[in-house]
C-alpha cells in the first residue's frame, strides 16, 4: 500500500490514486455525479471509453466493506443487465473471500 495523503476534488477522476477513501455520504454523492455525467454523455450520443466506466449496468453493485460477510449493494434503478452483473460480481467477491481477508488484515 502506498498512501499518498489527501487528494483534491480534481483528483477524483484522474490517475492520482487507485483508491480514494471517504465517508459513505460523500462517496455516494461522487458516484451519483459520475453516473449523471455518464447519462448526459450517453444522451448526447457521445461514445467515450473512459466514461463507460461509470455505467452502473457494467458492475451491477459494489461490496459493502466492514461487515462480517459478503454484502453487495445494487443501484435502485437496476435493470436486468445490472442485476445479472451484480450476481456475477457477488459470486466473484464470495470466491475471493474478501470479507475474510479484510477481517484477517484488521484483527
- Find the largest Cα–Cα distance for the chain: 49
Segment 3-35, tens digit of pLDDT: 899 999 899 888 899 888 888 899 889 888 988
pTM of this structure: 0.70
3-state secondary structure of 104: helix
Q: Which sequence spans correspond to the domains of the chain?
A: 1-54, 57-107
Segment 27-72, tens digit of pLDDT: 889 888 988 899 999 999 999 888 888 888 888 888 888 778 888 8
Q: How many CB atoms lie within 10 A of CB 60?
A: 22
Where is 82: in which H helix or E strand?
Answer: helix 80-96
Amino acid at each position: 500500500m502506498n498512501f499518498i495523503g489527501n487528494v483534491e476534488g480534481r483528483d477524483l477522476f484522474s490517475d492520482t490514486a487507485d483508491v480514494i477513501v471517504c465517508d459513505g455520504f460523500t462517496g455516494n454523492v461522487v458516484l451519483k455525479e459520475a453516473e449523471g455525467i455518464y447519462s448526459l454523455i450517453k444522451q448526447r450520443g457521445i461514445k467515450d471509453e473512459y466514461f463507460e466506466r461509470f455505467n452502473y449496468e457494467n458492475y451491477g453493485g459494489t461490496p459493502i466493506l466492514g461487515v462480517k460477510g459478503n454484502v453487495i449493494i445494487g443501484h435502485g434503478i437496476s435493470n436486468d443487465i445490472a442485476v445479472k452483473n451484480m450476481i456475477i460480481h457477488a459470486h466473484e467477491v464470495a470466491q475471493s473471500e474478501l470479507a475474510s481477508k479484510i477481517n484477517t488484515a484488521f484483527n
